[in-house]
Amino acid sequence: MGENSTRKGLAAIYRQEIIQDVTLFTSQSAAAFYDKLFTELDFTLPRAATGRRGFPKEAMVCAFIVMKCEGFSQITDLADYLDNNRLIAHYCGFNIMKPLPSYWTYDRFLKKLDNGELKHIMARQVKKLYELGIVDASFIGLDSTPVAANTKKNNPKSFAKDKFKPENHPKADPDCALGVHSTSNQHNERRYEFYWGYKNHVLVDCISGLPIYELTTPANVADSSVVQKILAAASKTISLLECTFLGDKGYDVKAVYDLVKDVYQGDAVIPLNKRNTKDPEKLPAGNPICDAGLAMHKDGKTSDGNQGLRQKFCCPFRQSKTNSCPCNHKNWNNGKKNRGCTKYKAIPSDYRLSIDRECSRFKRTYGWRIYLACFCVHIWSI
- Show the 3-state SS of 44-80: CCCCCCCCCCCCCHHHHHHHHHHHHHHCCCCHHHHHH
Q: Rounded distance, CA 91 to CA 71, Å?
A: 18
Backbone angles phi, psi at 155, to 5 degrees: -80, 120
Question: What was the pLDDT predicted at 48?
Answer: 57
Phi, psi at 220, each rounded to 5°: -90, 5
Q: Are 242 and 264 in contact (CB under 8 A)?
A: yes
Q: What are phi and psi of 200, to 5 degrees?
A: -110, 110
In order along its 382 residues, the chain shows pLDDT tens digits of 456 665 545 444 444 444 454 455 567 888 889 988 888 887 787 775 444 668 888 999 999 999 999 989 899 999 999 998 988 999 999 998 889 999 999 999 988 888 888 899 899 999 999 999 999 889 999 999 899 998 888 888 877 788 888 888 888 888 999 998 876 555 455 577 899 999 999 999 988 888 999 999 999 999 999 999 999 999 999 999 999 999 988 899 889 999 999 999 999 999 888 765 555 555 555 678 777 777 787 777 777 655 567 778 888 777 776 677 777 776 676 666 666 777 777 766 677 777 877 888 888 887 777 666 555 545 444 4
CA–CA gap between residue 81 and residue 100 (Å, rounded): 11
Sheet holding 308-314, edge to edge: 297-304, 308-314, 342-346
Residues 121 and 110: beta-carbon distance below 8 Å: no
- In this structure, how many other beta carbons lie within 10 angstroms of the beta carbon of residue 208? 14
Structural domains of the chain, ranges and CATH numbers in brackets: 2-113 (no CATH), 134-155+162-272+368-381 (3.30.420), 278-348 (no CATH)
Q: Are strands 177-182 and 139-148 parallel, antiparallel or unpaired?
A: unpaired
Burial 274-292 (b: 16+ CB within 10 A, else e): eeeeeeeeeeeeebbebeb
By the 8 A CB rule, do 380 and 145 touch? Answer: yes
Strand-pair category, 210-218 with 244-246: unpaired
Question: How many CA atoms does the CB half-sphere of 146 hold within 13 Å?
Answer: 20
Give the residue from 49, 174, 38, 57 showing the smallest Cα distance to 109.
57
